[in-house]
Chain A
Amino acid sequence: MNATRRTTLAGIAALAVAPFGAHATPETMRAAIAAVASGRPMREGKVTLDIQPLVDNGNTVPMRVEIDSRMEGADRVRAIHVFNERNPQPHVLSVAFGPQAGRASLSTRIKLGDTQKVVAVAEMEDGTLWTAGVDVIVTIAACIEGIE
């Protein structure tokens, strides 16, 4: 009984101190983006990052990213990368588009551990980079409950 209570308390203490082991920061996000950019300049525009600005539940946040592109020639989108500032890791997802992709668009659901900025970076066929960021307020963060 005592041991059970102790382990439970230890679990709660661990939760209170560190719901995540380590956190991404705006700096680690910038580093992750720089790794994708590898020195190329990035411009604002072309990218639509659709996330609701006020999120009730960070465990599942609908997200849509779409690039203004005809998907032909130099205008084709090679890949999209999505990053965040304050989850444990800065990377959310990357998608590479093949010749059968009809549109440079992807919808999914993500986890957000805190109020933060989410950034999408699009890499075009001609090597140019376009970006957009959205500030999201999260009221109930993902991973608050550490116990199944």
Chain B
Amino acid sequence: MAIPLVNAPARVRRGEVFEVKTLVAHPMETGFRPGMNGTLIPRDIVQRLRCRFAGADVIDVALSPAVAANPYVAFHVRAERSGTLELTWTGDNGFSASHSVAIAVE
């Protein structure tokens, strides 16, 4: 189980737009690279990153093999009330990782 790294503020002002930076350890094997014996290494990528805040969608990202290994994704969230930021990654070969951060609105 991959351990994601998530950088998000613990407290924000009401209505503030803040940046969330995420990174998850994953090889993002493209499926287009030949291995030691000349045959292609099978694809193994993170297909989707979904982020929700206080029960509503923030972003839903569909990733292709063109995203670099250990996918880093940063985006902006608007918080009107306190809530939990929930992040889930899903991918090939049953890959799944999740992380949540409680964010207090002052």
Q: Could you tell me if A60 and B57 are in contact, using CB atoms closer than 8 angstroms?
A: no
Residues of the B chain whose Cβ atoms lie less than 8 Å from the Cβ of A18: 34
Q: Could you tell me if B66 and A109 are in contact, using CB atoms closer than 8 angstroms?
A: no
In chain A between 53 and 97, which residues have their CB closer than 8 angstroms to a CB of chain B? 59-61, 71, 84, 87-89, 91-97
Judged by DSSP, the binding face of B is strand
Q: Could you tell me if A94 and B62 are in contact, using CB atoms closer than 8 angstroms?
A: yes
Residues of the A chain whose Cβ atoms lie less than 8 Å from the Cβ of B95: none
Q: Could you tell me if B36 and A15 are in contact, using CB atoms closer than 8 angstroms?
A: no
Specify the chain B residue showing the minimal Cβ separation from A97: B59
Q: Could you tell me if A59 and B69 are in contact, using CB atoms closer than 8 angstroms?
A: yes
A132 to B56, CA, bound (A): 29
Residues of the A chain whose Cβ atoms lie less than 8 Å from the Cβ of B76: 101-103, 105
A110 to B64, CA, bound (A): 10
Give the tally of cross-chain contacts (CB within 8 A): 138
In chain B between 64 and 106, which residues have their CB closer than 8 angstroms to a CB of chain A? 64-69, 71-79
Q: Could you tell me if B77 and A93 are in contact, using CB atoms closer than 8 angstroms?
A: no
A9 to B37, CA, bound (A): 9
Contact of A95 among B18, B38, B41, B59 (CB under 8 A): B59
Contact of B67 among A20, A21, A99, A108 (CB under 8 A): A108
Residues of the B chain whose Cβ atoms lie less than 8 Å from the Cβ of A139: none
A61 to B79, CA, bound (A): 30
Q: Could you tell me if B59 and A89 are in contact, using CB atoms closer than 8 angstroms?
A: no
Residues of the B chain whose Cβ atoms lie less than 8 Å from the Cβ of A95: 59-62, 75
Q: Known contacts A96-B60, A100-B53, A100-B54; decide if A13 and B38 are in contact (CB<8 Å).
A: yes
Specify the chain A residue showing the minimal Cβ separation from B85: A100
A47 to B: closest C-beta gap in Å: 16
B64 to A: closest C-beta gap in Å: 5
Residue A34, interface by CB 8 Å:
no
Q: Could you tell me if B59 and A92 are in contact, using CB atoms closer than 8 angstroms?
A: no
Q: Can you name 5 A-B residue pairings with CB atoms under 8 Å?
A: A98-B60, A105-B75, A106-B61, A111-B28, A147-B36
For the complex of A and B, the 6 pairs showing the least CB-CB separation, nearest first, are: A98-B57, A102-B17, A102-B78, A102-B76, A103-B76, A109-B68
Known: A95-B61, A98-B59. 12 other contacts (CB 8 A): A7-B37, A84-B66, A87-B66, A88-B30, A91-B64, A95-B60, A98-B57, A106-B59, A106-B74, A143-B30, A147-B35, A147-B36
Taking Cβ atoms with an 8 Å cutoff, the residues of B that contact A are 17-18, 21, 28, 30, 32-38, 40-41, 52-54, 56-69, 71-79
